[in-house]
Chains A and B, each alone.
Chain A
Amino acid sequence: KNQVEQSPQSLIILEGKNCTLQCNYTVSPFSNLRWYKQDTGRGPVSLTIMTFSENTKSNGRYTATLDADTKQSSLHITASQLSDSASYICVVSRQTGANNLFFGTGTRLTVIP
C-alpha cells in the first residue's frame, strides 16, 4: 500500500533554534518527493522537489534530504524564525498512473519567541 507518514505531528521550538521533520514513505515506483509549507489560511507552497538521484536540496534556511534506499526524507530548518510557523507537508509522487500523488498528514511547527 502506498503511504506517506510524517513525524512528529506537531513541534514547538524557540526562535533561532534548528529542527528536523521526518517523512517515511512506501510509494512505489518512486518518482520524486516534495516538501510543501502551508501557512494558516493559505494553500501549500512548494519548498523543494527531489528526484531519485538527488539526496539533498536547499531552499534558503530549508534543507531537504532524501535516502531512496531507506525511503526516508527529512526537512531541516536552520535558525528558525517566527514566520516558519506553519504546517509542513511531505508529498511523494509515483512514476505511473494519473492519480499518482501521495500526501502525508503534515507536521505542525510552532516557533515561539
Chain B
Amino acid sequence: DTAVSQTPKYLVTQMGNDKSIKCEQNLGHDTMYWYKQDSKKFLKIMFSYNNKELIINETVPNRFSPKSPDKAHLNLHINSLELGDSAVYFCASSQGLNNYNEQFFGPGTRLTVL
C-alpha cells in the first residue's frame, strides 16, 4: 500500500498549457511538501503545508499554486507552463512541523514541457 502517491507519473504538455499534479498520503501526517528536481539534479523545496496552512513558499512563480483540500492531499496546479518548468516534481509528507521528523517522498512526476 503506497504511503505517498502522485498522479500522473509522467506528464508531457505544450508550453502555455495549465496542468495539475495530485498528491495523496495515507500515513496520517499533517505536513506535506512539494519539491522540484531540475536538470542539474538539485532537489529544492517549493512549498510546505501544515494542517492545510501554507508554511513555506520558496519564491516560486505565482503560476504555481498549491492546493490542500485536506491534510492527506496536496495538489500542485501550474498555469501557463514554460520550458523551464520541465523537471521531476516530488511530493513528500511528515508528521509535525516543529521537529526533525523524517520526510516520506512520493515516486515523483516527470513533467516535460514542449
Do they bind each other?
Answer: no
